[in-house]
Amino acid sequence: METNKQVTKAASNRATASVSKRMSHTLIEKWKDFSFAVPALLFMGVFLYYPLGYSVYISFTNWNMTRPVKKFVGVDNYTRLLTNPDFYHSLKVTFLYTVMDVAFTLVIGLLLALLLNVSSSRLFGFMRGVIFMPYYVSMVVAAMVFTWIYNGQYGLLNSVVSWFGMDPVEWLTNPSTALPALVAVSVWKGVGFAMILFIAGMRGIPAEYYEAASIDGASKFRQFCNITLPLLSPMTLFLVITSFISSMQVFQSIDVMTDGGPLKATNAIVYWIYTMAFDEFKTGRASALVMILFVIILLLTLVQWVVSRKKVHYEG
């Protein structure tokens, strides 16, 4: 009897040891997996989350980069910004730029995709490559080239305009044309990316849908409206959100081409943040403006996402 108890106890101990060993092995595996993510987490913590948190802190101070003292002023920076007419003018400029940039990029990109979606043609493949190539051009380089193209005296664009008997236009010094001129640079640079994504989306639509629609007598236009557009909606949503976030942060083209002028016609929010921080040295107020812009972009992106959920169609 006693021998049986000893055997049972030994078996129980072995089972407990086996369970403990498996749990220990599982825990080691989990920590091993986590260790691979530690470098990325440290990188994000140092270069993303810490600067973001520090910017929040600075936004509540009157820090001026010419002096080391940071005095806490509460929400004074936010109050001054939200009661400043320049803030609403800058916000208007940013929204106008964003709406024009996103709309033209997506519409032209979709039209080019419809035109060049021919996989068997080498010529069309070459044309797609040429249209996509500006996407890899630095915005600073593109802005410098277009500054010459837009030049009022010897620019290429005015040379073309003169062929039609029109007077030269001061594209970058006229308040009514400066912002559209900047939008044109961004559209030229980004339309190829939109085209490639739309083509990829179109090639993912099963050909059976179009065959069935043709049998039912649907025209090409009907097929485009009822098949192509709905099934491209996930790609369209992606392009709308990414283009929106990028356009709201426009800076380089303004810095190179217009310096926020003429008459603040191109003084977008990010450029205003730059001048406020590094020209006027109002670092605390500039950080507050960064936080306001962050909240605006986040809220509008969430609104786009929620509204589009009912309009986006995923196959299957």
**35-76: per-residue pLDDT in tens?**
888 888 899 999 888 988 999 999 999 988 888 788 899 999
* pLDDT higher than 80, residue 27: no
**What homologous superfamily is domain 76-308 in, according to CATH?**
MetI-like (1.10.3720.10)
Q: Give the pLDDT score at 21.
A: 61
* pLDDT higher than 80, residue 315: no
Q: What confidence tens digit (pLDDT) does each residue in 86-133 have?
A: 999 999 999 999 999 999 999 999 999 999 887 777 888 888 889 999
Q: What confidence tens digit (pLDDT) does each residue in 151-172 have?
A: 988 889 999 988 888 888 999 9
Per-domain boundaries in the chain:
1-49, 76-308
Q: Give the pLDDT score at 8.
A: 55
Q: What confidence tens digit (pLDDT) does each residue in 227-261 have?
A: 899 889 889 989 999 999 999 999 999 999 999 98
Q: Give the pLDDT score at 59.
A: 93
* CA atoms 127, 133, 139, 145: torsion sign: negative
Q: Give the pLDDT score at 7.
A: 46
Q: Give the pLDDT score at 97.
A: 97
Q: Give the pLDDT score at 70.
A: 86
Q: What confidence tens digit (pLDDT) does each residue in 176-211 have?
A: 999 999 999 999 999 999 999 999 999 888 889 889
